[in-house]
Structure 1
């Protein structure tokens, strides 16, 4: 019998999933079918990351997930991306059941409501959460500064930010993201008033995540203080410290002009690390939870363990057997 998490949440009924757990949409790591498919089969919400994908590859990945499971899955679309309109057109044509949008407003929401899709919106402040909520989104993914990739630019942690959004009185269910690596972290998000949790780095560190083995090994070796934020003042990225981040830090300390800093920041990409395995000079995106993770199991095992750990945490806090 499949274990369950007995936390109050609207997400299973809203999204058609068994567990209120969302796999973070991670460029390259989930820009293909295997990870999203494995997570959705396991009862959580698997997510394809459209960001770096070519249109034909995106269609192929969506259809592969559909062919592999009847369970819901999501497409993550960064709205600032120059191809975001094309991504949304593909999602609509392929009838993707859940859209996760970030870095922009939910203007396209009515198109997806028309065929019954759900829209989750990524936010990084109470104000943005209130605006998205007022627009009628189905859920809010609140990302703290401890998350990998592009977290809250003001670096407020998920522990504080999630609570602030809940206290702001939004009506849509809140999904906490950042700093969650296990079931205890999921339970903490519920304690803050969230109704689910999104995990990125934990699912990055699975067999199905499609990044270079050197990337996973670098994250596996990372300690609690081995991530940093680069690109402050623009679209910052949390990644592992390496030669690239040291170069950026030295340039900032030397007081180089913003234009030179921006050129340096753009000189290296996530692709260099994720596909080519250059973990010394590429952007090895990972959250602070890298310091809590030291294994690379199948994604289905991760989901099952998260559910069991979260329920054990709930029982422990309730004074029952854990």
Structure 2
């Protein structure tokens, strides 16, 4: 198996600096994390929408399917987050990725267990606080990302570099706008030790998404997403009927109650499981425009490595005068 060694791969015990994002419904399953971990990256179970028995069974299935490290992603705002943490502690997971909340809520109990703790941040202030709290590493998300990008929409190019500059030596995983090996090379050049790929793994054979969702990802262009949800929790979604109406309300100055009603009128589940890609929340990143095929996750990893090598080998050397 190929290896690309970085501070992040050494920390996590993986062969490649490739992390599959924890994506509600898409990786709320065993198949995708198993495939990515077995290919040398870090597979991630998305605990966000999962009931406790389903999550416990999925963790057991991943352990049966791979002897490589894997992670569980937990959005701390989800209902029953404390019960989920109890379960994850009992099951002694190797890596916890937490988002949408403060790390002091969980750090001591998991570090006492030997669990590696990565925290998702979307700004310099949050990154500083997470590091001060003692997290093992950061996933730094830029404005290109699907799902929940930073409200200020600062690009991955700038955000990752900013965090790497004020926290040299910190294990950083760059996320947002990355879909191929050139993106992986760019992430490492910025000072990250790995790249997280979300939308690219949405369009994998192992993701649990409805086929209509996957088809929408493949057919999207780089300009076909927009951010909506001002004052409600910004999300990046594919342009569709839901997003168009949401943007109309926001740009037209509708009051927050009217905007909240439309925002809550549909869900990610409607698109992800039921295939309603017209009226549902189709959360994808701008990198959808760089994706033109649905592939097995192991093949995605293989291509990322090959493209990374081609990119690095194709860079022009410095010529001395």
TM-score (norm 2): 0.96
SS of the equivalent of 2:113 reads coil
Which deviations, in whole Å up to 9, do the C-alpha atoms of 1:19-55 show, x marking residues without a partner? 1111000000001111011101111000000000011
Query: In the alignment, what sits opposite 1:101?
Result: 98
Counterpart in the other structure of 1:295: 293
- How far has the Cα of 1:252 moved from its partner? 2.1
Q: Give the count of matched residue pairs.
A: 317
CA shift for structure 1 position 170: 5.1
Cα separation, 2, equivalents of 1:136 and 1:307:
31
Tell me, in whole angstroms, the C-alpha distance in 2 between the residues paired with 1:131 and 1:308: 36
Cα distance in 2, alignment partners of residues 232 and 37 from structure 1: 36
Aligned to 1:33: 30
Shift of 1:12: 1.7
The SS at the match of 2:237 is strand
Could you tell me how far apart the structure 2 residues matched to 1:37 and 1:256 are? 45
Consecutive unaligned residues in structure 2, runs of 5 or more: none
CA distance in 2, matches of 1:155, 1:168: 20
CA positional deviation for 1:318: 6.0
Shift in Å at residue 115 of structure 1? 2.1
**Cα deviations by residue, 1:53-86 (Å, 9 ceiling, x for unpaired):** 0110000100000011110100000011122111
Most deviating of 43-52 and 130-139: 130-139
1:319 is displaced (CA, Å) by 4.2
> Moved runs in structure 1, 4+ residues, more than 3 A?
none
How far off its partner does 1:228 sit? 0.5
Q: What SS does the aligned partner of 1:114 have? A: helix
> What's the TM-score, normalizing by structure 1?
0.96
Task: Name the CA distance, whole Å, in 2 between partners of 1:253 and 1:183.
Answer: 37
Task: Structure 1: give runs of 5+ residues left out of the alignment.
Answer: none
Match of 2:127 among 126, 129, 153: 129
Candidates 44, 49, 67, aligned match of 1:47: 44
Aligned to 1:239: 237
In the other structure, the counterpart of 2:3 is 4
Compare 82-91 and 49-58 and name the one that shifted more.
Answer: 82-91
